[in-house]
Amino acid sequence: MINLAKKLKNMSDNIEEKIKQLSAELNQHNYNYYVLDKPTISDFDFDLKLKELEKLETENQQFFDPNSPTQRVGGEIIKSFNTVVHKNRMYSLDNSYSKEDILDWEKRIKKMIGAEDVEYVCELKYDGASINLSYSNGILQSAVTRGDGYQGDDVTANIKTIRSIPLVLKENLMGDFEIRGEIILPLDGFNKMNEDRMDIGLEPFSNPRNTASGSLKLQDSAEVAKRPLDCLLYHVVANKNPNKTHFEALEMARKLGFKIPVTNKICANIEGVFSFIENWDTKRYKLPYETDGVVIKVNSLAQQDELGYTAKSPRWAIAYKYKAEQESSVLKEITYQVGRTGAITPVANLAPVQLAGTIVKRASLHNADQIEKLDIRVGDTVYVEKGGEIIPKIVGVDLSKRPKDSQPTKYITHCPDCNTELVRTAGDAKHFCPNEYGCPTQITGRIQHFISRKAMNIDGLGAETIQLLFKQGLVHNYADLYELRESQIIPLERMAEKSAQNIIAGIEKSKEVPFEKVLFALGIRFVGETVAKKLAKHFKSIDNLLKASFEELISVDEIGDIIAKSIIHFSANPINIALIDRLKIYGVQLEVSAESQVGKTTILSGKTFVVSGVFTHFERNDLKKSIEDNGGKVASGISKKTDFVVAGENMGPSKREKADALGVPIISETDYLKMIG
């Protein structure tokens, strides 16, 4: 009996070992084919090995591995994508369009770090969908889209179908880390997809970028697996990065099995950067992927750390965008849009034209001054390009083709939605409709802003539904949402019982949204996400904020005259006060919750800190959060206003010199921990 048990165990061990061996072999073949582009086995032989592994796994489910090569085919159905907060924020890049812009950037960074020579890495800017991959112990844990930079959608099941993304790393050299890149659709694969679609009578996809992005949100991962998506990686985020430079970190990632573009290049100086830009201006058209520019990064990780970030972008990187594609089209009509703040935007309605991979029918004309400056008229043949290759805009007029009976454009004098006479204040580029609470578009625009993802994030509600609810007289402001009932929603067009239940549930859940997001949702002019956070942190409640004087408001860090006047204007309107009173009754969070204040103190109140280096007890973001949780302020650069520099290993030398020169105390991580008790 003992011998039989031993025999069975040996058989089981042999099967497990065979599964591991086949998985490792197939992973290597995937890497050779999809990353190195050097296959060492035929497709037929690969498929035979894959079927053998599938059979072994099916017959021995105790050895199932979610990261097995057999799981690349997808099949998971995702009804909705979970929103995930990024552990490390995904910033956007500053754009430049000339050598002068890059020289100005270089001047700024050299001044900040006090360096004569700076080494750079140049990378081609691939046009796709940004992704953040998280690994722990050498295994892929999650894949999250960029979203708004603070949070994105978990698309792990779909990402696992992309064969150039390793599910299990060859080695575990960096512990827990994140790696960022671009999900792209190679041009050959895109063209083949479109040929197949047209063969069966379907509309072709417009461009590879949008198709790649849309593929990530398909609900059936088996469908994603059919698309020839690829992933190029460009940035490693690790608390304990063993490398000293950005280029070394990418080379380590390459060894681990990631697809790192071979076009990356170290440039010893800015002349090398310009040479790289010029070289790829024409060569980029021979690449198998779409690219629209070059990303220039400071190579030294210590210098990157020293330069830090602005509110939106890393200071240590900049994108150079190649000249935008330009086409001509006929301006058929000028229409006018009303924004939620009442701002009027003129829109050019064009004869359809293919531009940078998409069909363009509309372009912004910005304001009356722009129309007058370019003398844009209906019937003109105009030059259209995409600003940053995203937003179409008119940049000129072909006067040789202007019709003889052409008449100058007369800018509208009354709101196109409510016929109220427009106003334009001194120094403002735009005209405004002052009928704030009677103009239909402003009313629905404010409600749409209120329910948006960055604000109250109410599931089930969108712009069309808000328009429908407004037309039916069910909502006239955002407070009305909290009085909606299922029985009112079900009879509406395209609605059913389940849809109505989801909307009511989403509205109910929004009562848990923290005060800072509610404050942003109220739509006070000039109070964006960042300002709302600062105001919520300082005033703690809507009542404290709305009774604050002008002097109290401008005493808050980064709150200037314009924002302060806007808040006072908002609080002086009895309609706004009545809406807020109703939100209080419904249970919306209009003050900082007691739970969110747990563990927070005012020990560091009035103190400004700069964080530099690598730490033992904290990750950098956690240290910054700890400072803020204890009432302190975190600044990116050292100045006379800095009270302390918290220094870890590899602190930037220029920061140390500047701190010494200004007499700013440099404290250790241990000193900081003692400071907060």
pLDDT per residue over 345-377, tens digit each? 999 999 999 876 678 899 889 899 999 999 999
Of 77-91, 117-131, 307-321, 466-480, minimum mean pLDDT range: 77-91
Would you say domain 115-268+287-296 falls under CATH 3.40.50.1000?
no
Per-residue pLDDT tens for 567-580? 999 999 999 999 99
Cα separation of 361 and 670, whole Å?
A: 60
Q: Do domains 440-512 and 515-596 have the same CATH topology?
A: yes
- The three-class DSSP label of residue 495 is coil
Distance from the first to the final alpha carbon of the chain = 64
Residue 217 has pLDDT above 80, yes or no: yes
Measured at the CA of 674, the angle between CA 673 and CA 676, to 5 degrees, comes to: 70
Cα separation of 69 and 54, whole Å?
A: 9
Given a contact cutoff of 8 angstroms between Cβ atoms, the answer to whether 250 and 99 are in contact is: no
Cα separation of 449 and 150, whole Å?
A: 18
Cα separation of 677 and 621, whole Å?
A: 20
Superfamily classification of domain 440-512: 5' to 3' exonuclease, C-terminal subdomain (1.10.150.20)
Given a contact cutoff of 8 angstroms between Cβ atoms, the answer to whether 593 and 515 are in contact is: yes
Half-sphere exposure of 346 (CA within 13 A, CB side): 25
φ, ψ at 118 (rounded to 5°): -130, 135
Mean pLDDT (the chain, rounded): 88
The topology under which CATH files domain 515-596 is DNA polymerase; domain 1 (1.10.150)
Cα separation of 134 and 140, whole Å?
A: 6
User: Where is pLDDT greater, at 78 or 413?
Assistant: 413
Contacts of 247 (CB under 8 A, 6+ apart): 121, 264, 266, 299
Given a contact cutoff of 8 angstroms between Cβ atoms, the answer to whether 139 and 168 are in contact is: yes
Q: Which CATH number fits domain 608-675: 3.40.630.10, 3.30.230.70, 3.40.50.10190, 3.40.50.1950?
A: 3.40.50.10190
Per-residue pLDDT tens for 226-253? 899 999 999 999 877 889 999 999 999 9
Instruction: Output the CATH code of domain 326-401.
Output: 2.40.50.140
Domain parsing of the chain, residue ranges: 2-73, 115-268+287-296, 326-401, 440-512, 515-596, 608-675
Residue tagged 């008119």 (tokens): 394
Query: Can you give the C-alpha Rg of the chain in angstroms?
Result: 29
Half-sphere exposure of 348 (CA within 13 A, CB side): 35
User: Where is pLDDT greater, at 166 or 65?
Assistant: 166
The β-bridge relationship of strands 633-635 and 608-612 is parallel
Given a contact cutoff of 8 angstroms between Cβ atoms, the answer to whether 352 and 359 are in contact is: yes
Nearest to 651 by CA among 641, 660, 643: 660
Contacts of 219 (CB under 8 A, 6+ apart): 77, 78, 79
The β-bridge relationship of strands 381-387 and 326-338 is antiparallel
Cα separation of 280 and 124, whole Å?
A: 8
- The three-class DSSP label of residue 556 is coil
Q: Which two tokens stand for residue 639?
A: 């100045």
Per-residue pLDDT tens for 10-44? 556 677 778 778 877 777 877 776 666 677 887 67
Nearest to 123 by CA among 252, 242, 1, 232: 232
Sign of CA dihedral 299, 302, 305, 307: negative
DSSP 264-285: -EEESSHHHHHHHHHHHHHHGG
Per-residue pLDDT tens for 185-202? 998 998 888 888 877 777
Nearest to 659 by CA among 641, 633, 672: 641
The secondary structure of 563-587, three-state, reads HHHHHHHHHCCHHHHHHHHHHHHHC
* Number of other CB atoms surrounding residue 554 within 10 Å: 15
Strand segments, DSSP code E, in 260-371 are 265-267, 291-298, 317-321, 326-338, 344-355, 358-364
Would you say domain 2-73 falls under CATH 3.40.50.720?
no
Contacts of 196 (CB under 8 A, 6+ apart): none
- The three-class DSSP label of residue 350 is strand
User: Where is pLDDT greater, at 138 or 652?
Assistant: 138
- At 57 the pLDDT is 74
Residue 5 has pLDDT above 60, yes or no: no
Per-residue pLDDT tens for 410-421? 999 999 999 999
Residue 521 has pLDDT above 90, yes or no: yes
> What are the distances in angstroms from CA 594 to CA 513, 539, 541, 625?
14, 14, 12, 18
Cα separation of 323 and 325, whole Å?
A: 7
Measured at the CA of 672, the angle between CA 648 and CA 602, to 5 degrees, comes to: 135
- The three-class DSSP label of residue 634 is strand
Annotated catalytic residues are 125
Q: Which long-range contacts (CB under 8 A, 24 or more apart) does 364-370 make?
A: 364/391, 364/392, 364/393, 365/334, 365/394, 366/393, 366/429, 367/429, 367/430, 367/431, 368/411, 368/424, 368/431, 369/429
Nearest to 449 by CA among 390, 522, 383: 522
Residue tagged 């969108």 (tokens): 462
Nearest to 673 by CA among 632, 637, 627, 636: 627
- Of the chain, the percentage scoring pLDDT greater than 90 comes to 53
User: Where is pLDDT greater, at 476 or 77?
Assistant: 476
Average pLDDT (504-511) is: 95
Residue tagged 């009509």 (tokens): 333
- Of the chain, the percentage scoring pLDDT greater than 70 comes to 94
Contacts of 84 (CB under 8 A, 6+ apart): 142, 144, 151, 152, 153, 154
- At 483 the pLDDT is 96
Residue 535 has pLDDT above 60, yes or no: yes
Q: Is 482 exposed, middle or buried (0-12, 13-18, 19+ CB in 10 A)?
A: middle
Residue tagged 């005259």 (tokens): 561
Q: Is 583 exposed, middle or buried (0-12, 13-18, 19+ CB in 10 A)?
A: buried
The pTM of the full predicted model, rounded to 2 decimals, is 0.67
